[in-house]
Amino acid sequence: MPTKKTETSLNDNLKQLAEISDWFSQQKELDIEAGLEKVKLAAALIKASKEKLNTLENEFKEIEKEFGEEPTDTGM
């Protein structure tokens, strides 16, 4: 069955990362093998999130530049 590739949003990624963080903090005795699987997932989420964040920041910088270039005088 072909796997369906869905692009998750930045917020969804951060939510999953928060869940992973919580899992680690709740472990009294860490299961190393389960921990490694969580870390692998976290690494993938972090990578994807950083890429998304870079794209957003670049787009925002363009908008900020436009505002910086607009004259404040509306002219008569």
Partner 1 sequence: MLEDNQQIGLFEEKPLTVTEFITRTNARLKTMNARIIGEIGRVDEKNGHRYFSLKDETNGSTLNCIVWRSKYEMFGLNLKEGDKIIAAGRPEIYAASGKLSFICDAIELAGTGALKKAYDALKKKLEAEGLFAPERKRKLPQYPRTIGIITSRQGAVINDFLTNIGKFGFQLELVDTRVEGQLAVGEILAAIRTFRRRKIDVLVIIRGGGSPESLQAFNNEMIVRAIAAFPAPVIAGIGHDKDVPLVQLAADVSVSTPSIAAMQLNASWQKIIQFIGQQEILIIGGYKNELAQTRAKLARHTAILANFHYLLKNITKALDSKMQKMIFFLAAALAAASQKIDYLQNLIASHDPQRPLKLGYCLASVRGKIIKKSAQVAVGDEIILKLSDGKLLSEVKKIEADKI
Burial 36-65 (b: 16+ CB within 10 A, else e): eebeeebeebeeebeebeeeeeeeeeeeee
d(CA 19, CA 29): 18
For the four alpha carbons of 65, 66, 67 and 72, in that order, the dihedral sign comes to positive
Residues belonging to the chain:
76
Query: Could you say whether residue 7 binds partner 1 (CB under 8 A)?
Result: no
Please say which residue, 2 or 68, places its beta carbon nearer to partner 1.
68
The residue from 2, 63, 65, 69 that contacts partner 1 (CB under 8 A) is 63
Minimal distance, residue 64 CB to partner 1, in Å = 6
Query: Could you say whether residue 3 binds partner 1 (CB under 8 A)?
Result: no
Task: Name the residues that contact partner 1, by CB under 8 A.
Answer: 10, 14, 17-18, 20-21, 24, 30, 32, 35-36, 38-39, 42-43, 45-46, 49-50, 53, 56-57, 60, 63-64, 67, 73-76
